[in-house]
Amino acid sequence: MRKLLLHRNELRKITQALETAGKALVALRLYFKEALVKVEIGLATGKKQYDKRDDIKKRENDRDIARVLRARR
């Protein structure tokens, strides 16, 4: 566990967004600077339900195509 080096109001904003808005904290970039490891973070929103359905449909179609191609061999 490491401490986030942010101002108190920045931490409050992030925790508020995580609790109320249903957002997620995501590590965007990780880099080394001398003896320190720095992480660039960002707030992200999750996928909507219809986006998830589209991804599931695409994944199932890809699997079906792969099955047909394997069966031909």
Q: The domain containing residue 59 runs over which residues?
A: 8-72
Long-range Cβ contact pairs of 24-28 (< 8 A, separation 24 or more): none
b/e per residue 18-37 (b: at least 16 CB within 10 A):
eeeeebeeeeeeeeeeeeee
The pLDDT tens digits of the residues spanning 11-27 come to 898 888 888 887 888 99
Tally the domains of the chain: 1
Residue 3 lies inside a defined structural domain of this protein = no
Distance from C-alpha of 55 to C-alpha of 8, rounded to nearest angstrom: 39
Alpha-carbon Rg for the chain, nearest whole angstrom, is: 20
Residue 34 identity (one-letter amino acid): E
Residue 25 lies inside a defined structural domain of this protein = yes
Residue 65 lies inside a defined structural domain of this protein = yes
Per-residue model confidence (pLDDT) at position 5? 80
Residue 2 lies inside a defined structural domain of this protein = no
What backbone phi and psi angles, to 5 degrees, belong to 31? -145, 160
What is the average pLDDT across 50-55? 84
The pLDDT tens digits of the residues spanning 35-49 come to 888 889 899 887 777
Give 32's pLDDT tier (boundaries 50, 70, 90).
Answer: very high
Residue 1 lies inside a defined structural domain of this protein = no
